[in-house]
């Protein structure tokens, strides 16, 4: 799926999550929440006029996209998003325990532990 002008619509993320052959418990949980926003990707620093590309094959990344689409905006951005290093423009945290405190951008590519909101590994 290609982003148009760096935007992936919330419903497109939900469709991708529903169609994923190998779902996860987190994806099933996140699908219960309503869609709050679209995903706006950060510009690609290596490609002028381009945007970060999304690897749709990793279930963790679908989780991250769903967290972003359904989650809530924290009062301040995490340290990682604050430096514009995340794949997404905004810092959004999940309504459930997906990412264990980490924001969606940090959860992407299983990077939860780089997030300043991360509460530690889940047991
Ligand atoms: Zn963040
Ligand atoms: Zn973060």
* CB under 5 Å of ion ligand 1: residues: 78, 81, 91, 103, 105
Ligand nearest to the CA of 100: 2
- Counting other chains too, the contacts that 27-34 makes at CB distance below 8 Å and 24 or more residues apart are 27/59, 27/62, 27/63, 27/66, 29/96, 29/98, 30/63, 30/66, 30/67, 30/70, 30/94, 30/96, 30/98, 31/66, 33/70, 33/71, 33/95, 33/96, 34/70
| The model's pTM | 0.93
pLDDT at 122 exceeding the cut of 90: no
* pLDDT of res. 68: 98
Cα 105 to ligand 1 centre (Å): 5
Give the model's confidence band at 5: pLDDT under 50 very low, under 70 low, under 90 confident, else very high: confident
Ligand nearest to the CA of 71: 1
pLDDT at 40 exceeding the cut of 80: yes
Q: Where are the domains of the chain?
A: 7-114
């Amino acid at each position: 799926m290609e982003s148009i002008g760096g935007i992936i619509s919330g419903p497109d993320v939900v469709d991708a999550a529903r169609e994923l052959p190998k779902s996860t418990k987190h994806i099933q949980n996140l699908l219960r929440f309503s869609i709050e926003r679209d995903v706006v990707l950060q510009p690609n620093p290596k490609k002028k006029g381009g945007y970060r590309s999304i690897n749709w094959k990793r279930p963790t990344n679908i989780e991250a996209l769903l967290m972003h689409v359904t989650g809530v905006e924290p009062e301040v951005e995490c340290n990682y998003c604050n430096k514009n290093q995340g794949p997404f423009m905004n810092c959004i945290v999940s309504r459930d325990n997906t990412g264990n405190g980490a924001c969606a951008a940090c959860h992407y590519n299983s990077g939860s532990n780089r997030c300043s909101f991360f509460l530690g590994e889940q047991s």
